Amino acid sequence: MSDTGYNGWANYPTWCVNLWLSNDEGLYEATRELVTEPVYLLGSESRYVWADEPERHRIAVADRLRDWVTDDLAPDLGASFPADLLGWALAHVDWQEIADAWIAGEVTA
């Protein structure tokens, strides 16, 4: 099985994360809120001073989505076979692609 391209997304892990974020009402609302927060509220403004405002927002949203999903939503499975598989999948998510789709308003519930 190839790890590139799945249902119009970069790969299966990217598609799957976006599917969950857009198909669960609570996750959808939380993601919409996160995407629309100004960059300074995302705590990333100083990390991306080299970029213009739209690019800073784009990068900050991708970073925030990654941190939120991996730190807050993914279960703590300890050291285990499922934890290794989940870690692999999350490491292959194209967070920028998800952020771009949400910012552009291409994702609907």
User: Is residue 7 domain-resident?
Assistant: no
The tens-digit pLDDT sequence of the chain (109 residues) is: 445 599 999 999 999 999 999 999 999 999 999 998 876 655 555 566 667 778 888 888 999 999 999 999 998 889 999 999 999 999 999 999 999 999 999 987 7
User: Is residue 52 domain-resident?
Assistant: yes
Residue-wise burial string across 32-68, b where 16 or more C-beta atoms lie within 10 A, e elsewhere: eebbeeebeebebbeebeeeeeeebbbbbbbbbbbeb
User: Is residue 4 domain-resident?
Assistant: no
How far is the C-alpha of 108 from the C-alpha of 89, rounded, in Å?
23
User: Is residue 5 domain-resident?
Assistant: no
User: Is residue 76 domain-resident?
Assistant: yes
User: Is residue 3 domain-resident?
Assistant: no
- Give the structural domain span for 27: 12-103
Q: State the pTM of this model.
A: 0.85
The tally of domains found in the chain comes to 1
